[in-house]
Amino acid sequence: MGRFILRRLIVIGPMLLVVVSLTWGLIRLAPGNFYSGEKKLPAAIEKNIREKYGLDKPWYVQYGRMLANTVRGDFGESLKYPGTSVNSILAATLPVSATLGVLAYLLALVVGVTAGTIAALRQNSTADYASMAAAMLGISMPNFVLGPTLVLLFALTWYWLPPARWEGFSTHLILPVLTLSAVYMAYIARLTRSGMLEVLRSNYIRTARAKGLSEREVVVRHALRGGLLPVVSFSGPALAFLISGTVVVERIFALPGLGNYFINANLNRDEPLIIGIVAFMSIAVLVFNLIVDVAYAFFDPRIRY
What percent of the chain lies above the pLDDT cut of 90? 14
Average pLDDT over all residues of the chain: 84
Does position 280 have pLDDT exceeding 70, yes or no? yes
Please give the pLDDT value at position 107.
93
176 φ/ψ angles, rounded to the nearest 5 degrees? -60, -40
Task: For the chain, list the domains and their CATH numbers.
Answer: 86-299 (1.10.3720.10)
Does position 305 have pLDDT exceeding 60, yes or no? no
Residues 217-275 pLDDT 10s: 787 777 787 778 888 888 888 888 887 767 888 888 888 888 888 888 888 888 899 99
- Show the DSSP H helices in the chain as ranges: 2-29, 43-52, 59-72, 86-121, 126-140, 143-150, 174-200, 203-210, 215-217, 224-227, 229-244, 247-252, 258-267, 271-299
The span from the CA of 251 to the CA of 180, in Å, is: 12
Contact 257, 245 (CB under 8 A): yes
The span from the CA of 241 to the CA of 252, in Å, is: 17
